[in-house]
């Protein structure tokens, strides 16, 4: 049995995106200002091999442009304006902002493992990230850098057993679908911390308390400031 939690990690989903455009430097800074420990970023690769931040495969929803990130050059992406009037950040800009202030939860949408590691090394952030992605991708990442903190998705009891046996991760991610007692038990038996999404209708104090009761060491939220205050009131956040 893992010891009782002394603190719970707060992860700001796409930054503080209620009052700022998601995946922007302003959203990330607001998340840090709210007390979040990590902010989540979505990494994609441009047609000329540069790493930028965009959740969707296209730029349509959050910028004044249209088209797929993978079919646009870096200069084309950088020329766009997001809904708040700022630009699309690079992965390294997001890493640099966090350095010395917090960690980065890296959701890899499309990026070569070697390129991702090179960016982390340049920004001296390799030890201050968790990397979320598919099983095969995370295994490749581990083969290149055994010390990297990978965070696979639990998915099912069978997959979680495979994850524990083959990747031996320090942390396992849970969505609302995965957050079941049988899967939680396998992850905890494997010695992994549990980071769970509490988004949408599950992003509220009752659901946060349930997550804590069931062993969550980290909670991803759209409401980082509210979650930080909730945890501090319970002595579970710095």
In tens, the pLDDT along 128-153 reads: 999 999 999 999 999 999 999 999 99
pLDDT at residue number 4: 52
Q: CA-to-CA distance for 26 and 93, rounded, in angstroms?
A: 12
Residue 10 pairs in a beta bridge with 219
Number of domain units in the chain: 1
Answer whether residue 39 is part of any domain: yes
The two tokens of residue 206 are: 């009752």
Secondary element (H or E) of residue 166: helix 157-166
Answer whether residue 211 is part of any domain: yes
Answer whether residue 92 is part of any domain: yes
Answer whether residue 2 is part of any domain: no
Q: CA-to-CA distance for 3 and 115, rounded, in angstroms?
A: 37
Answer whether residue 119 is part of any domain: yes
Answer whether residue 4 is part of any domain: no
pLDDT at residue number 1: 38
**Which portions of the chain are predicted below pLDDT 70?**
1-5
pLDDT at residue number 5: 60
pLDDT at residue number 220: 98
Q: For position 25, which CATH number holds?
A: 3.20.20.190
């Amino acid at each position: 049995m893992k010891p009782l939690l002394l603190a719970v990690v707060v992860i700001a989903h796409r930054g503080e995106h209620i009052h700022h455009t998601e995946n922007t430097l302003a959203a990330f800074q607001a998340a840090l200002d709210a007390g979040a420990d990590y902010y989540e970023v979505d990494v994609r690769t441009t047609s000329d091999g540069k790493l930028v931040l965009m959740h969707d495969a296209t730029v349509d929803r959050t910028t004044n442009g249209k088209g797929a990130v993978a079919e646009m050059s870096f200069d084309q992406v950088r020329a766009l304006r997001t809904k708040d009037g700022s630009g699309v950040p690079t992965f390294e800009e997001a890493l640099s902002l966090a350095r010395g202030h917090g960690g980065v939860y890296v959701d890899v949408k499309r990026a070569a493992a070697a390129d991702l590691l090179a960016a982390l090394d340049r920004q001296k952030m390799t030890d201050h990230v968790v990397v979320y992605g598919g099983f095969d991708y995370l295994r490749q990442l581990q083969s290149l850098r055994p010390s990297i903190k990978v965070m696979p998705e639990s998915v099912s009891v069978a997959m979680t057993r495979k994850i524990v046996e083959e990747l031996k991760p320090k942390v396992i991610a849970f969505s609302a679908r995965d957050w079941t007692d049988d899967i939680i038990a396998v992850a905890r038996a494997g010695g992994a911390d549990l980071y769970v999404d509490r988004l949408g209708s599950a992003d509220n104090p009752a659901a946060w308390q349930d997550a804590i009761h069931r062993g969550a060491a980290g909670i991803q939220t759209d409401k980082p400031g509210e979650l930080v205050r909730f945890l501090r009131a319970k002595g579970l956040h710095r």
